[in-house]
């Protein structure tokens, strides 16, 4: 039974960044993809030495700088009518940002939500074990329990193999949550989201 929780970061007591801090109305409502990309950059800057990904002092994280950073990310992952609701929209936009800051060597792998839960668990395990958090897009879900995660990007930064299957640890809106992957993955809808693996070794 495996378990790995990445050493995530905090900003002013918040687990990762928080979309709720955004002053721009459009970003406050639909900036989850940009926030997820911002958190990826901060994590990689802190733990992979890629400090060019974050335009401020990554060793002195503040809410103000995070909000400013989100506005720098906005043109790459700008909120739109239906949201950043396709994996390629995230990889294209975030990829353009990475290239512009001189890290075009960081590659991304798309993993559609139409794949099985078992292969999703393998995908998450592979990237977490490599020390990289995994962006997760969920569109719809039949269970009201996940209402705060509908049509939403968030970041998976840990997993634990339990007798009932893999549980994942995710961060969004400045808070940490743990979910049974099988329950989260089985949305009950044909329209699926998926995962993005970041190769930054």
Domain count across the chain: 1
Task: Decide if pLDDT at 109 tops 90.
Answer: yes
Q: How far apart are CA 145 and CA 24, in angstroms?
A: 28
Over residues 12-57, the pLDDT tens digits come to 999 999 999 999 999 999 999 999 999 999 999 999 999 999 999 9
Q: How far apart are CA 36 and CA 198, in angstroms?
A: 12
- For residue 201, pLDDT over 70 is answered with no
Write the CATH number for 85.
3.90.70.30
d(CA 136, CA 150): 11
Does residue 1 have a pLDDT over 80?
no
82: pLDDT confidence band, cut at 50, 70 and 90? confident
Q: Sign of torsion, CA 139 120 187 35?
A: negative
Confidence band for 142, pLDDT divided at 50, 70 and 90: very high
Average pLDDT over residues 125-148: 96
Domain of 191 in residue numbering reads as: 3-199
């Amino acid at each position: 039974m495996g378990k790995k929780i990445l050493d995530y970061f905090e900003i002013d007591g918040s687990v990762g960044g928080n979309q709720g801090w955004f002053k721009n109305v459009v970003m406050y409502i639909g900036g989850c993809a940009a926030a997820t990309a911002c958190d990826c950059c901060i994590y990689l800057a802190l733990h992979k030495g890629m400090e060019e990904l974050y335009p401020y002092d990554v060793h002195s994280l503040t809410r103000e700088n995070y909000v400013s950073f989100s506005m720098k990310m906005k043109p790459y992952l700008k909120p739109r009518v239906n949201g950043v609701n396709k994996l390629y929209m995230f990889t294209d936009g975030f990829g353009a940002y990475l290239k512009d800051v001189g890290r075009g060597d960081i590659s991304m792998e798309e993993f559609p939500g139409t794949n099985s839960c078992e292969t999703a668990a393998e995908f998450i395990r592979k990237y977490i074990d490599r020390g990289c958090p995994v962006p997760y897009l969920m569109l719809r879900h039949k269970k009201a329990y996940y209402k705060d995660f509908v049509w939403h990007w968030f970041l998976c930064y840990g997993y634990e193999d339990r007798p009932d299957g893999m549980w994942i640890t995710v961060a969004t809106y400045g808070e940490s949550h743990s979910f049974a992957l099988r329950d989260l993955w089985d949305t009950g809808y044909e329209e699926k989201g998926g995962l993005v693996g970041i190769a930054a070794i």
